[in-house]
Amino acid sequence: MSNVNITIDGINVAVPAGSTILQAAKELGIYIPTLCYLKGINEIGACRICVVEVKGAKALVAACMYPVNEGMEIFTHTPKVMSARRATLELILSNHPANCQTCDRSTNCELQAVANKLGVRDIRFEGETVNATIDAGVSIVRDNNKCILCRRCIAACKNIQTVGVIDAVNRGFKTTIASPFEMPLGETPCVNCGQCIVVCPTGALRERNSVDEVWAAINDPDKYVVVQPAPAVRAGLGEEFGYPIGTPVTGKMATALRRLGFDRVFDTDTGADLTIMEEGTELLHRIKNGGTLPLITSCSPGWIKFCEHQYPEMLDNLSSCKSPHEMFGAVIKSYFAEKEGIDPAKIVTVSVMPCTAKKFEAQRPELGKDGLADVDIVITTREFAQMVKDAGIDFASLEDSDFDNPFGNASGAAVIFGATGGVMEAALRTVADILNGDSAKDVEFEAVRGVDDIKIASVEAGGMTIRAAVAHGLGNARKLLEKVKSGEEELHFIEIMACPGGCVTGGGQPIQPASVRNWIDLREERAKALYSEDKAAFVRKSHENPAITNLYKEYFGEPGSHKAHELLHTHYVARGKYQK
């Protein structure tokens, strides 16, 4: 790509042709504030906070959208620019609630950060108070009082996820972000993925907080509280305590959970290994016995609800396997309860998830037995971090520790579940060994790794060719499913994750501002943490995990057994366009 020569604040620089002023300034370390801009998601120049002067232009231009050209002279902090930015910011702040101390996003609010950067201390304008009704759903809470109309949430929901349950309505000062007919999100085809939350620059969107429920369970002497963190949590949790993005903090995480007062600290990775045993068996059974193909993974609850609403004709393609944390919850309230002599009714299972959709999943009536839910409470990575901070625990000073027995160790295949392609790779490691009748030394399937929108691979094993595909983000899932429906792609096995990049960038993960998201690929950096743990694992295949082989020997008999189906499998239902 050719370069163009420009001048920014008197500095001559050559930048790639097609760059925006914002990108060029970033290369020079020059700060230009933004609020609405998100690279690849929301590039609309709506907030006007990023305006700069360009020599010869009749008006200030939006740096996030304005392309550079040869000889351009740009000025980023002239009196005219600074005055315009401050006036725009004051107008935004004029009707924004001034309750920063009690806001979920305090100290991690982009509006707050820009106000600090621009030195805004007084607001010359008095805006009209919004007084919007707070929409509190099972998973997601919307508070339009804190909305600044940046439209990032709309872009994530409509353009990336292709769900489109929120949009701007009305005009001028009456503009708001709303769902169809002003319905609560829970009454729309919202899939609870939470991608709107992680792109929101303020506290207008957040998860429904369940921290108080967890504390109540821990402090109830009649309850036996078991916790399980998902694979992706260890890849993001450290960011809440100042660690670099992509730092695995597994050992400290286990110690922190124990310090919070949970009676047993297990790892959802065990449930992931169990899922592979059941799902791999299901795949081979369908291939060999003429079952419905392609088999599609059922680990992502956002994807499941999307399928129920958007592709009900493909429900038979879904694996009947429960998701890993739901499987593990069922095991805790059956096998573990029997082994330890604990009344299952007294066990409270708590899942720490990178996902807001898991909150909705946990209250599904089809995920439980004898009136007891498999999982009682779901908290996000962010809520877990809140609990650690509330308890006054210095996370960085914690020593590493292991998870509790009888599920103390899981395989490397299980930990990569948190990255797009990880479920597929874990399944292929086991399925290939079963078909080949031996244990392959080469366990890495590079063809299904990475953040390409859709990945398709052919795997040879036992004289059979398995056609596999991976899609992450529901927009990409839609593209892949349309190819399957049209006959363009003939596949045996599909992995779909609702969130772009997989669980590592789930709606419950630590929120990084646009100043980070625009320049660092969170999907890749957090995934590195999981692949590093996989590489270092003593056991890297689910079927070779001793805890799993023992579980089948003592309790389930074999994968796909009647008892396994009774506890580890489920079904899903078609939902109307506006059915909960």
Residue ranges with strand state E in 217-296: 224-229, 264-265, 295-296
What are the residues facing 352 on neighbouring strands? 229, 379
Q: Phi and psi (nearest 5°) for 177?
A: -100, 125
Long-range contacts of 395-399 (CB under 8 A, 24+ apart): 395/240, 395/241, 395/249, 395/252, 395/256, 396/241, 396/242, 396/243, 396/252, 398/252, 398/255, 398/256, 398/259, 399/251, 399/252, 399/255
Strand partners, 369: 372
361 is a catalytic site residue: yes
Q: Is 299 a catalytic residue?
A: yes
Catalytic residue of the set 299, 307, 355, 499: 299
| Residue 308: active-site member | no
Marked catalytic residue, from 110, 455, 503, 525? 503
Active site residue 319: yes
Measured distance between the N- and C-terminal CA atoms of the chain, rounded to whole angstroms: 49
Q: Are 74 and 8 in contact (CB under 8 A)?
A: yes
Chain mean position to CA 258: 25
Considering the candidates 278, 282, 495, 525, report the single residue annotated as catalytic.
282
Q: Where are the alpha helices (DSSP H) in 290-376?
A: 301-310, 324-331, 337-340, 357-362
Pick the catalytic residue: 53, 207, 326, 361? 361
Q: d(Cα 377, Cα 388) in Å, to the nearest integer?
A: 17
CB count in 10 Å sphere of residue 246: 20
Q: Spot the catalytic one: 279, 308, 326, 495.
A: 279
- Out of 26, 146, 333, 358, the active site residue is 358
Q: What one-character-per-residue DSSP string does 444-493 give?
A: --GGG-S--SEEEEEEEETTEEEEEEEEESHHHHHHHHHHHHHTS---SE
Cα–Cα dist 204/142, whole Å:
6
Among candidate residues 319, 323, 334, 411, the one labeled active-site is 319
Q: Which member of 182, 313, 366, 446 is catalytic? A: 366
How far is residue 196's CA from residue 194's CA, in Å, rounded to a whole number? 5
Question: Nearest Cα to 362, choosing from 321, 317, 329?
Answer: 329
Q: Helix, strand or coil for residue 250? A: helix
Q: Residue ranges of the alpha helices (H) in 79-218?
A: 79-93, 110-117, 152-155, 195-199, 211-218
* Paired tokens of 384: 């877990």
Nearest to 297 by CA among 482, 549, 535, 481: 481
Residues with a catalytic annotation lie at 279, 282, 299, 319, 358, 361, 366, 503
